[in-house]
Amino acid sequence: MRLNWIPALLILLLLSACGDDKPNDDKSESTPATTPTMQIAATPTLTDELREQLESTYSILSEAQAQIETVWTDLQADRTVDCASALKQQVSPDALSSDDPISLILQQAAIEIQTAVNLWQAECQNPRSQPPPDVIDRGIRAALAAGTALDAASVALSQ
């Protein structure tokens, strides 16, 4: 008989916890009456001059990226690539020092392009019939990463 009161006590405790209709005076546990607004960082409005500069930089980087990606994909396909062919004009990552989001994306693209170009130039200094597969893989990955960054810059510039 002694054990019959334990389930009854548990039921009473559960019911008392569920039916608390009185207001809570503890402000730390209450939900605020208004939900604070969430600030979403929007892309800053670009001046016409800055937009024109960024679009020009994007265009130069896009041409350089396409050319260096072609070099590395040709090498991957066992095609011969001439070291004497000139690469398109490049933009130094250091030239993109602005703190706006689009400049930072373009700077990342410039870094990846520079990495791919530097790998290619190192291969041209080292006469051999074909670069090793790991070098080709690094060159392709850098060129593709630049392409991804340029895609993001294109989206940001279109807004």
Predicted TM-score of the model (pTM): 0.69
How far apart (Å, rounded) are the C-alpha atoms in residues 111 and 106?
A: 9
List, as one string, the DSSP characters of 23-49. Answer: PP--TTTSPPSSPPPPPP-PPPPPPHH
Residues contacting residue 134 through CB under 8 Å, at least 6 positions apart: none
Q: How far apart are CA 118 and CA 125, in angstroms?
A: 11
Does the pLDDT value for residue 52 go beyond 50? yes
pLDDT at 41: 43
Six token digits for residue 61: 């980087």
Six token digits for residue 138: 């690094």
pLDDT of residue 61 exceeding 90, the answer is yes
Under a CB-based contact definition with an 8 Å cutoff, are residues 124 and 97 in contact? no
Better-scored residue on pLDDT, 126 or 98: 126
Residue 45 has pLDDT above 80, yes or no: no
d(CA 54, CA 98): 10
Task: State how far the Cα of 147 lies from the Cα of 89, in Å rounded to an integer.
Answer: 16
